[in-house]
Amino acid sequence: MKRYNPKEIEPTWQKVWAKSKIYEASEDTSKSKRYVLEYFPYPSGAAMHVGHVRNYTIGDAIARFARMQGHNVLHPMGWDAFGLPAENYAIKTGISPQQAVAENVGRFKEQLMQMGFSYDWSREVNSTDPAYYKWTQWYFLLLFKKGLAYQQESLQWWCPFDKTVLANEQVENGRCWRCGHEVEKKSLKQWFFKITDYADRLDQDLEKLDWSDAIKSMQHNWIGRSVGAEINFKVDDLKEPVKVFTTRADTVFGATFLVLAPEHPLVAKLTTAEHRAKVNSYIKESVAKSDIERQETNREKTGEFTGSYALNPATKEQIPVWVADYVLPGYGTGAIMAVPAHDERDNEFALKFGLPIVNVIEPTFGESHPDEKHKVGVNVVLRNPKTNEIIILDWGPRKKDHGGQMLIGGGVEAGEDIVECAAREITEETGYKNVKFIAKSEAVGHGHFYSNVKDQYFSIDAHGLLFDLVDDEKVELNLDEGEKNKFSVNWVPADQAVPMLDDGIHKYFGETLALGKCYEGEGILVNSGKYNGMSTSTVREKIITDITGMAEKVNYKMRDWLISRQRYWGAPIPIIHCPKCGPQAVPEKDLPVVLPVVKSYEPTGDGQSPLASVEEFVNVACPKCGGEAKRETDTMDGFACSSWYFLRFADPKNDEEPFARDKADFWLPVDDYIGGAEHAVMHLLYARFWTKVMFDEGLINFDEPFSSLRNQGMILAPDGAKMSKSKGNTIEPETLLSQGYGADSVRIMELFIGPWNQSANWSVEGMGGAYRFLQRVWTLSLEFLESTPDAKNNIDEASLTATVARTTKKVSHDLENLSFNTALAALMGLVNELYKLKASGGLAQTKAWRGAIETLIQLLAPFAPHITEELWQELGHSESVHISSWPGWDEQLIKEDLLTLAVQINGKVRGEITITIDATEEEVLAEAKKAVQDKLAGQKIKKAIYVPGRIVSLVV
Ligand code: ANZ
Ligand code: ZN
């Protein structure tokens, strides 16, 4: 029998596929299109490791499955090849980026080829090819003409040793990532794309996308829309007021000081002579820190007093003005009103510098009840100062508003003061006799609740008190009849106890008294003049108009996109600066502006790119007046190239326009976009922005580029460490191939290792298992072919066809849901079954056996394209298995595997479903919810339980 030898069959089939062009796509409208795309890679010189390859393996399985299902599949590949690595390599070795990239692309492509991925190589693009970046430049000009690309002076990180600007990510602890030299901020003129104009749409349209919630919320937070107000604070002898941005105008009566970012333009004017020296040195320290560092929540607060005071427009009091680096210059107005009672950062700051804290919000909980009685009560945090444990009372399982985990508490009796009351309640409920009063909360908690003990609704004003335990001495508990044996007393570490508390007021006092947090939530106003007693959320807008006379103001965290780089290896920005006419677009007929070949790739040292010293490039006639002018010498950030490449694949050879509209409209949006999560707020946001601009320009008929985003999980080293070249723990397919495993085994391993979107540790044994599985498929298929033709055998044919049908259904279903690992498990199960049948009844060339083996091969084809192609041909087919039709199944054959289950809502049977016995819990629950949808009538399901094979129980 022929041996399974991947080293021989894999390259052979790769050549055949290239020649027969079966993976080339055309605009065939008779089939539905499916655009499957993996992030186009940066072609690094290093070998790919198995983590990189997983991404392409997932995409290829999706593409192959879709193709066999009869979709018209576009699955292209290209190179994102501009950027610093090639340039730094050139500086070091003198080898030009053009040459290095060409070599790397060749090597990278070879590695992809070896894996047998089904790319349409006729559509290959390279972002550094002038025929490509001509259109990147064209887009730049489109943005420029629409007012969406502009130049502005801004502060940038600058390394005086390397003589270059650095991106934020390239500064580590205030030092240059390359040379370790301390960096400075330098004011440089830079190009920006006005992505902020699209902030609202980028935020809202996230809703339309089938992306993971994690990525969507990262984009959402990055865009950071927030609605608030700008309030002016007048400073004596200063014409301009200090304008602050706040989302909590309702807390203005609690604003006891102002804080300006050290970079704020008014700081110099505000700082009095006495404080100047200290403030100036503080400013110098602060600007050297990154925004991320400045916002770290557990960093100790720092700041300086300016010597000036501002008028709080609500309280009419003079409040001190400080500078502190936790206020950032780039957000809101770069200045805040600090409300230390209700903002954690302001609270820390006030505590550190002894500034006043005025509480202006008291929380309210629960709904009022018509029969409620009013009372005044206490909630007591009893703390053991030695262990920092506090007491919580366990009243049994919480049901509605009965029971649960509570603080010590009770009603204040006539003639009793609050501290006495608290001490009495402690002794009555816990027995502890010797306790010490520590603090009383300034705020009163307002609640509406039902008393377990008294069987009565109450509205309560509760005072919070903190006591320390002095010693363990106890007396008999003194409880009301209704309280006896109803609860147990437990000491729990404070940080664990507080989250356990069930009632709102109890939790509030737990957080403020036991954990020292400030209250950032909503409630009713106190210490707020005429607004006292009103609710914070309803009064917010009213205070804004009363104080500012203006409406709400929307702010975004997102900044405009800095696009220019003072670097050689990027697409030149197609602008000509004319001393008379200003910046002018390079006329379209003169595109591309080709990167000149240079001798030195070193930056010039004065903040300009190496292109600035290439005179033939720089000196040019103004396209408007014809006078002497100079080219822009900055190049574009590589993210510009990747913001539209997915469109170029629709029409990669077009030299009249970036793409023909009908082709783009035919193929796009991308149906499955596969890649890691690391680009959440960069590429994935930029590409959405460009797409929206193109949509607005009428270039395309869709305004989101990627319908479904699939973020694959990482592959880790066998010991769970991240794979990296520097650690020397990478595992490379090239090595595995040379060991004889074959691309098919590697691909199986990549997908079998675990759910595709979760990380997994590579396993050497697993690799062997994958290989043996394929070998078993090989052997069985060839044994079948070598068995007697037309012979009878004694297997249970009905069982064989049912097993095959069941597996077909399972694999089809799993592939639809990208559940590659379970699909492979099912295929391994099928192979085991087939071996068992062979052992019991023998193998022969019957119709049933042929059907089983052919189906197995087809189901395996998206995972292991080479071995399946080889066996398919051995079985006598002349066409490729990869363009054969995906097998169907006869539902009749698997009927016996169906099961009927009752669906209960709150314990009553309300419906019935029929499922397959191998249905997953998720599938069963989805089916059950559908079956009783009308009976749920929109009620929220609190709990859904599936007792396998027996019942589904929903609790609403
Ligand atoms: C008073 C206040 C009281 C605030 C309160 C919060 C709670 P988001 O939601 O992220 O937009 N802030 C405003 N500009 C800032 C800046 N440049 N750097 C640092 N912090 C800044 O947050 C808006 C809130 O963040 C604003 O509302 C302001 O503090 C602070 F109980 O004003 B707030
Ligand atoms: Zn001019």
Residue to substitute in 223, 227, 232, 246 for testing ligand 1 pocket (most ligand atoms within 8 angstroms of CB): 246
Dist. CA 841–CA 852, nearest whole Å: 15
For residue 236, the tally of other CB atoms under 10 A from its CB is 9
Q: Are strands 335-338 and 257-260 parallel, antiparallel or unpaired?
A: antiparallel
Which two three-digit tokens encode residue 364?
Answer: 């309210």
Task: List the alpha helices (DSSP H) in 298-417.
Answer: 344-353
Phi and psi at residue 339, in whole multiples of 5°? Answer: -120, 85
Query: What pLDDT, on the 0 to 100 scale, is given for residue 64?
Result: 98
pLDDT of residue 167: 66
Q: Is the CB of 324 under 6 A from ligand 1?
A: no
Find the mean pLDDT for residues 711-731: 89
Query: Is 76 within 8 Å of 123 (Cβ atoms)?
Result: yes
pLDDT of 482 higher than 80: no
Most confident listed range (171-180, 645-654, 946-955): 645-654
DSSP code per residue over 81-131: --SHHHHHHHHHH---HHHHHHHHHHHHHHHHHHTT----GGG-EETTSHH
Task: Supply the pTM of this predicted model.
Answer: 0.77
What is the tens place of the pLDDT at every residue in 486-505? Answer: 889 999 999 999 999 988 99
Q: What pLDDT does residue 446 have? A: 94
| Share of residues in the chain with pLDDT > 90 (%) | 69
Ligand 2 mean position, distance from CA 626 (Å): 6
Residue 226 Cα: closest atom of ligand 1: 11
Residue type at 343?
D
DSSP string, 173-188: TTEETTT-PBPEEEEE
513 three-class SS = helix
Quick check: 607 pLDDT over 80?
no
Q: Is 169's pLDDT higher than 60?
A: no
Q: Report whether 647 contacts 700 (CB < 8 A).
A: yes
Ligand found nearest the CA of 628: 2
Dist CA 786 CA 793 (whole Å): 14
User: With a 6 A CB cut-off, is 295 part of the ligand 1 pocket?
Assistant: no
Nearest ligand, CA 525: 1
Q: Is the Cβ atom of 112 under 6 angstroms away from ligand 1? A: no
- Please tell me the number of Cα atoms within 13 Å of 592 on its side-chain side: 21
Centre of ligand 1 from the C-alpha of residue 337, in Å: 8
For range 621-627, the mean pLDDT: 96
Cis peptide before 262 (omega within 30 of 0): no
Q: What are the tens digits of pLDDT across the range 788-839?
A: 876 667 788 888 999 999 999 999 999 999 999 999 999 999 999 999 999 8
pLDDT, average across residues 643-654? 97
Q: What's the mean pLDDT when you consider all of the chain?
A: 91
Residue 739 gets which letter from DSSP? T
Among 166, 200, 169, CA closest to 181? 166
**Would you say residue 395 has pLDDT above 60?**
yes
Q: Looking at residue 596, what is its pLDDT? A: 94
Predicted confidence (pLDDT) per residue in 38-71, tens digit:
999 998 878 889 999 999 999 999 999 999 999 9
* Cα 579 to ligand 2 centre (Å): 6
pLDDT reported for residue 790: 65
pLDDT in tens, 416-445: 999 999 999 999 999 999 999 999 999 999
Q: Is 226 in the pocket of ligand 1 (CB under 6 A)?
A: yes
Of the chain, the percentage scoring pLDDT greater than 70 comes to 98
In short, whether 342's Cβ falls inside 6 Å of ligand 1 is yes
Q: How confident is the model at residue 941, as a pLDDT?
A: 86
Taking the centre of ligand 2 as the mean of its atom positions, its distance from the CA of residue 575, in whole angstroms, is: 12
pLDDT at 649 over 70: yes
Cα-to-centroid distance, 263 and ligand 1 (Å): 17
- The single-letter DSSP state of residue 934 is H
pLDDT of 644 higher than 90? yes
Atom 32 of ligand 1, nearest CA residue: 246
CA distances from 723 to 394, 443, 513, 732, 737 (A): 48, 53, 46, 10, 19
Would you place residue 179 in the very low, low, confident or very high pLDDT band (cuts 50, 70, 90)?
A: confident
Look at the block and give the residue holding tokens 């209700």. Answer: 342
DSSP 476: -
Q: What is the pLDDT of residues 564-584, one digit of tens each?
A: 888 899 999 999 999 999 999
Selection from 646, 577, 697 nearest residue 148 by Cα? 697
Give the pLDDT band of residue 896 (cuts 50, 70, 90): low
- Given this model, what pLDDT does residue 319 score? 97
Q: Among 23, 30, 33, which Cα is nearest to 664's?
A: 33
Phi, psi of 457 (to 5 degrees): -80, 140
Contact predicate 133/535, CB 8 Å:
no
By mean pLDDT, which of 446-455, 759-768, 808-817 is the weakest? 446-455
At 522, the pLDDT band (50, 70, 90 cuts) reads very high
What are the pLDDT digits (tens) for 332-362?
899 999 999 999 999 999 999 999 999 999 9
Q: Per mean pLDDT, which of 232-236, 642-646, 798-802 is the most reliable?
A: 642-646
CA dist 296 and 294 (Å) reads 6
pLDDT band with cut points at 50, 70 and 90 for residue 299:
confident
Q: What residues does 330 pair with on adjacent strands?
A: none
Give the number of C-alpha atoms closer than 13 A to the C-alpha of residue 821, restricted to the C-beta side: 14
Q: How far is the CA of 611 from the centre of ligand 1 (A)?
A: 43
| Alpha carbon nearest to ligand 1 atom 33, residue | 246
Q: Is 251 in the pocket of ligand 1 (CB under 6 A)?
A: yes
pLDDT at 943 over 80: yes
C-beta 69 within 6 A of ligand 1:
no
- Give the alpha-carbon dihedral of 344, 349, 355, 361, to 10 degrees: -10
Measured in degrees and rounded to the nearest 5, phi and psi for residue 364 equal: -130, 145
Residue 210 DSSP symbol: B
Averaged pLDDT for residues 615-643: 94
SS3 645: helix
Residue scoring higher pLDDT (817 or 177): 817
Number of C-beta neighbours around residue 951 at 10 A: 14
Query: Element (H or E) spanning 826, and its range?
Result: helix 820-841
Reply yes or no on whether the pLDDT at 291 is more than 80: no
pLDDT at 641 (0 to 100): 95
